Amino acid sequence: MVLTDKLGRSISYLRLSVTDRCNLRCVYCVTKDFKFIPHPDILRYEEMLRLIGLATSMNISKLRLTGGEPFARRGFMDFIGEIMSRHEDIDLRITTNGTTIKNVVPDLKKIGVRRLNISLDTLNRQTFKEVTGKDHLNDVLATIESCLSAGIKIKINAVAMKGTNDKELGVFLDFARKNPVDLRFIEFMPMGDDTQSDRQFWSADDILLQAKEFANLIPAERTPDNRGPARMYTIENGKGRLGLISPVSSHFCGTCNRLRITSDGQLRTCLFSDRTYNLRNILRNPKLGDDQLLRVIAAATRDKPLGYHLLESRSGNEGVCTTQMSSIGG
Ligand code: SAM
């Protein structure tokens, strides 16, 4: 079975949030009145493994584990190990803030993790504290270093914020020159109710223009490793690359191949849409089996919206959806 929608987009990528808890409180991610999902509603790992099994049976070949902070959930390393032992061919990725994992990098490597996305919005310790609420910049840098020594590939994601990290473009490019990482700026998306994104929005085109003042950038070839939504550039005389992700100014809805499942088992077919499908109730109903889950996932996928319509129809600086990113997972 292959999952496709009415527009002919086929789905091959699942993003699964394992928790909405996080040790950081990033300004763009957690809204003021956020409420944690009650513990009983969070899926157990066995329930997530069942969903992953179903996803692979529907030809989903890429799985990203995210959060909240995925490594903040107890038993997460064993969970990854279990996924790898059941699905050795799966293209497993993890998105993390990298603050707590420098000592487990060798174990990650042993389990078979080959790539990590690490969120890092600034290379300045004070700004890091202001953005995340915690003084963990050096821990993240140590994680990146351990991963690179262990041979784990690193993508760094920085949310582009005018007035916060726009003055650091030169420093970031130096970092990417010295380190073999993909450093990607992602446009600030208006998620949740009290979004600050309009005030701080810094477009991918502006970033590119400004980056060219610091480096000679050459558009990178499209390779199997470079097929995602990021526009990638190699940096002359550099080991790393610059990437720009523009979900707001230049959407990539037409090629979207993703589904998301939140940690409480809600299927979201579009990041920008609040429409969810409750898989948890089906998972926990002993009278309903995998066939019912498959039916709901397939029907939901058929109606997968084009998120840019939702972006365009919002008024003023309101959020595109009411759900904050920390409970969706990015
Ligand atoms: N805790 C992990 C981390 O920090 O990477 C995973 C969860 S975090 C929600 C996933 C990604 O969402 C991060 O790369 C973060 O920078 C991005 N993100 C969160 N809110 C965003 C927003 N409003 N606009 C753009 N990116 C956002």
User: Can you tell me the mean pLDDT for 287-292?
Assistant: 98
Atom of ligand 1 nearest to the CA of 329: 9
Tokens 């784990």 found at: 152
Domain boundaries, the chain: 13-328
Confidence label for 242 from pLDDT (cuts 50, 70 and 90)? very high
- pLDDT, position 328: 93
Q: What is the pLDDT of residues 59-80, one digit of tens each?
A: 999 999 999 999 999 999 999 9
Q: What is the pLDDT of residues 113-147, one digit of tens each?
A: 999 999 999 999 999 999 999 999 999 999 999 99
The answer to whether the CB of 95 is under 6 A from ligand 1 is: yes
- pLDDT, position 34: 81
Q: Residue 174 and residue 177: Cα distance in Å, rounded?
A: 5
- Count CB-CB contacts under 10 A for residue 11: 22
Contact 17, 63 (CB under 8 A): no
Q: Residue 7 and residue 270: Cα distance in Å, rounded?
A: 14
- pLDDT, position 41: 98
- pLDDT, position 215: 97
From residue 163, alpha-carbon distances to 166, 169, 195, 212, 283 in Å are 6, 12, 15, 19, 45
Highest mean pLDDT: which range of 34-38, 226-230, 237-241 = 237-241
- pLDDT, position 316: 77
Instruction: Provide the H-helix boundaries in the chain.
Output: 45-57, 76-86, 105-111, 125-132, 137-150, 169-178, 197-200, 204-211, 279-283, 290-302, 307-313
Q: Residue 259 and residue 206: Cα distance in Å, rounded?
A: 30
User: Can you tell me the mean pLDDT for 212-223?
Assistant: 94
- pLDDT, position 199: 87
- pLDDT, position 68: 96
Query: SS3 string of 233-253?
Result: EEECCCCCEEEEECCCCCCCH
The DSSP output letter for 40 is: G
Confidence label for 318 from pLDDT (cuts 50, 70 and 90)? confident
Q: Residue 36 and residue 216: Cα distance in Å, rounded?
A: 45
The answer to whether the CB of 329 is under 6 A from ligand 1 is: yes
Averaged pLDDT score across all residues of the chain: 95
- Decide which of 1.10.287.610, 3.40.50.10440, 3.20.20.70, 3.10.129.10 is the CATH code for 13-328: 3.20.20.70
- pLDDT, position 106: 97
329 pLDDT more than 80: yes
The answer to whether the CB of 67 is under 6 A from ligand 1 is: yes
32 pLDDT more than 80: no
Tokens 């020594």 found at: 149
314 pLDDT more than 90: no
Closest CA to 258 of 60, 84, 117: 60
Q: Are strands 153-160 and 182-187 parallel, antiparallel or unpaired?
A: parallel
- pLDDT, position 301: 98
Contact 43, 92 (CB under 8 A): no
- pLDDT, position 172: 98
CB contact set of 208 (below 8 Å; sequence gap of 6+): 217, 231, 233, 244
Q: pTM above 0.75?
A: yes
The answer to whether the CB of 20 is under 6 A from ligand 1 is: no
Cα(191) to ligand 1 centroid in Å equals: 11
90 pLDDT more than 90: yes
Cα(7) to ligand 1 centroid in Å equals: 28
User: Can you tell me the mean pLDDT for 21-39?
Assistant: 90
Q: Residue 62 and residue 39: Cα distance in Å, rounded?
A: 27
The DSSP output letter for 218 is: E
Of 39-48, 222-231, 271-280, 293-302, which gets the smallest average pLDDT? 222-231
243 pLDDT more than 90: yes
228 pLDDT more than 90: no
The answer to whether the CB of 105 is under 6 A from ligand 1 is: no
- pLDDT, position 315: 78
The answer to whether the CB of 29 is under 6 A from ligand 1 is: yes
31 pLDDT more than 90: no
DSSP secondary structure, 163-194, as one string: TTTGGGHHHHHHHHHHS--EEEEEEPP-BSTT
- pLDDT, position 192: 84
Confidence label for 197 from pLDDT (cuts 50, 70 and 90)? confident
Q: How far is CA 288 from the centre of its chain?
A: 31
